[in-house]
Every structure is written in structure tokens, then in C-alpha cells.
Amino acid sequence: MIGTDLTIARQWLEAGNVVGIPTETVYGLAGNALNDEAVLTIFRVKNRPAFDPLIVHTDSLDKIRGLVRDLPPVAEQLARTCWPGPLTLLLPKRDHVPDLTTSGLDTVAVRIPDHPLTLALLKSLDFPLAAPSANPFGYISPTTAQHVADQLGDQVPYILDGGPCPVGVESTIIGFDEAGRAVVYRLGGMALEQLEAITGPLRVQTSSSNPQEQAHPQAPGMLTSHYAPRKPLTLLADGEVPAALGTLPAEQFANSVGALVFSSTLPGIPEANQLVLSPNGDVLEAARHLFAYLRRLDTLPVTQLYAQLVPDEGLGRAINDRLRRAAA
Ligand code: TXA
Ligand code: MG
């Protein structure tokens, strides 16, 4: 059931069940992060491998201090500047945070999401919420309550409807290396440029070509193939046109191809088969539309999908990261 009743959401969560929740980035599949049963339900409903740890959400820095052993000065500075907001920090966990939640890692991923309904919900609970994106593992993340209902509705008793997600891509993930330096493990809703204004130049380590690390990634958002539509997807650089344009008869080409483009349509493909992320060329608007349009692209009556990369700045980096993984 989809609704806006915080009391119903709270009651399901207090009973150890899972609830779909809105955040500024994407919808989450939430459960009590400190309750093994609830956490197991999250993994089961998502069909998520047990080695892929969950992000724990709370509504205050004080509550975060109760979950982590240490908050290094740079982490505290990031927290104070970016929270509530689309940033996740990897920090050493306290003993009472279940190993199931962190997949046995010594660190826990924490964030304060910036959504009024979910902040109110978190405030009313006496436990934090573990919440991965509310999609089946490997598929496109949901940015509306209906997306959650479409894919997981029969397994989730309640989905809290907070409208379409205003950011549209998942949180940026930052961890700390042995020397305590901040490292970006996932590009996301908090732009690199904004983070670097706080921390100075950041190392970005968002993919690995090492097959062993692929099997047990530091942050499995790093898995190369992710966010994938069900039809084959090919990427296009700015100004590039699909290779099949010119090799196939024009009409056959036009009717077999769908495209996700940044600000203007491509030649040779019917307008009805093209989705424009941002007619004004605004990467924030493009990020907001990205996942909903990828879903629509996947339902077009065509056999081959194309997606155009966007300018590699601000949230454009996160968009391009998701497109590359969707095409992998
Ligand atoms: O914006 C978001 O972060 C959304 C909303 C719902 O908050 N959540 C989200 O969760 O994207 P999920 O599960 O789809 O992605 C979480 C990522 C995964 O790649 C996971 O491997 C990584 O965070 N992660 C979680 N805990 C970790 C840890 N202790 N060390 C390394 N990576 C971790
Ligand atoms: Mg996810």
C-alpha cells in the first residue's frame, strides 16, 4: 500500500517489518538497522547478496555518534556541512551495530537524508533505519513511490509517498584510508566539486578492474554492471550518432532504436522513441529524471537502446557513472 501516514510506517517498522521510504536521492527499502530479522528481510526482498552492506540512516549527528567509534575531524566537517544531504560516510562501527547490516565489515555506512517525511519518521523512532535503494538487486533505482510498488509492492506492506526524489541519484560515498585521508567510493548526489571545497583534492576510487575486488568490492555500488535496464544499452559520446544509423535501412533503424539524450534529440530516430533528460542542458534536472527515464526507455517497443553521456561536471559525473554501469 502507498500512503503518507507516518504512524502506519512507524508501526510496521517497530514490528520488525520493512517499509519503502522517500529520500532526496532515491527511495529506500527501510528496516530496523539494529534488528537481525528486519535486516534479513531487506536482503531477501531485494534479492541482495549478503556481502553487500547497507547504509544506516538517522536524523541527528548525536545518534550517529551512538553508532560509530570515531568521527575524525574531516568526517565531522563533512557531516556538519552536508547533512542532512546526499552524502554517506564510512566510519568504524560500534559493537551493537549488527554484522549483518555491515556484511561483516568493521565500518558502517551512515547518513542523514534530506527529506521532511523521512526525517520526521526517523525522529519518531528509537532505532536507526538500514535502507538500500528499493529496487531488485542490479536493476534501476526507484525515484517515485510507484516505482517501488511496481517492483517490490507485493513484498512491502507500506510505501511512504514523499513525491519524486529531488536529487535523483544515490548519495556520494566517502570513506577514509589508513592514513585517514578521505576517499570517494561512489560518485553521487553531492557533487565532487562541493566536497573538494571542504576537503581539498579527493581520491576517487569508484571502480576496480581487479576481479577479486569485483567479487568483494569495497563499496559494491562499484560493481561494474549495475543499474541495468533489461535491453542492450550502448553509450554515445557527445556528438556521436548510433553506429547502426546508416548501416540499417532508415525505417528499420528508426523503429528499432530508443535513445536517452541530454538536451536535444538525435537525427534519424522518431521523437517518440527519445527521452530528453534536460532540454535546458541542466545536469541537476538531468539527474532528477535519469532513473525514471531509463525505466521508460526500457519499456519502449524497440530492441536497441542508446544513451548519451552528459557533461562530466557536478552531478554529471554521477549520471555518467550510472550510465556506464547500466551499459556494462
Ligand atoms: O542515496 C542513497 O545512498 C540511497 C538512499 C536510500 O539512502 N541508498 C543506497 O543504498 O543507495 P544502496 O544499498 O543501494 O547502496 C549502498 C552502497 C553499496 O554500494 C554498499 O556496498 C555500500 O553502500 N556500503 C555500505 N556499507 C559499506 C561499508 N561499510 N563499506 C563499504 N561500502 C559500503
Ligand atoms: Mg542500490
Q: What is the pLDDT of residue 31?
A: 98
CB distance 135 to ligand 1 below 6 Å: no
Between the CA of residue 286 and those of 62, 194, 261, what are the distances in Å?
34, 18, 10
- In the chain, what percentage of residues exceed pLDDT 70? 94
Mean pLDDT of the chain: 93
Q: What is the rounded average pLDDT of the residues 49-71?
A: 97
Cβ contact 87:78 at 8 Å: yes
Tell me which range, 225-234, 245-254, 263-272, is most confidently predicted by mean pLDDT. 263-272
Q: Can you give the pTM of this predicted structure?
A: 0.94
The percent helix, strand, coil of the chain (3-state, each to 5) is 35, 20, 45
How many residues in total does the chain contain?
A: 328
Neighbouring residues of the ion ligand 2, judged by CB less than 5 Å? 133
Q: What is the pLDDT of residue 289?
A: 98
Please say if the pLDDT value at position 250 is more than 90. Answer: no
Per-residue pLDDT reduced to its tens digit, 30-42: 999 999 999 999 9
Per-residue pLDDT reduced to its tens digit, 298-327: 999 999 999 999 999 999 999 999 999 999
Closest ligand by atom to 213 CA? 1
C-alpha 257 – ligand 1 centre gap (Å): 33
E strand or H helix at 204, and its extent?
A: strand 203-204
In whole angstroms, give the CA distance from residue 261 to residue 235.
10
Instruction: Give the distance between the most distant pair of CA atoms in the chain.
Output: 64
Please say if the pLDDT value at position 208 is more than 90. Answer: no
C-alpha 46 – ligand 2 centre gap (Å): 10
Q: What is the rounded average pLDDT of the residues 155-164?
A: 98
Per-residue pLDDT reduced to its tens digit, 89-145: 999 999 999 999 999 999 999 999 999 999 999 999 999 999 999 999 989 999 999
C-alpha 220 – ligand 1 centre gap (Å): 8
Mutation test of ligand 1: which of 117, 170, 172, 176 has the most ligand atoms closer than 8 Å to its C-beta? 170
Span of 10-19, 97-106, 128-137, 215-224 with lowest mean pLDDT? 215-224
Q: What is the pLDDT of residue 211?
A: 43
Place of cell 542490479: 138
Q: What is the rounded average pLDDT of the residues 201-205?
A: 95
Q: What is the rounded average pLDDT of the residues 273-296?
A: 97
Q: What is the pLDDT of residue 219?
A: 55
Please say if the pLDDT value at position 271 is more than 70. Answer: yes
Query: 272: which 3 cell numbers?
Result: 517518440
Please say if the pLDDT value at position 165 is more than 60. Answer: yes
In whole angstroms, give the CA distance from residue 185 to residue 202.
11
Q: What is the rounded average pLDDT of the residues 3-9?
A: 98
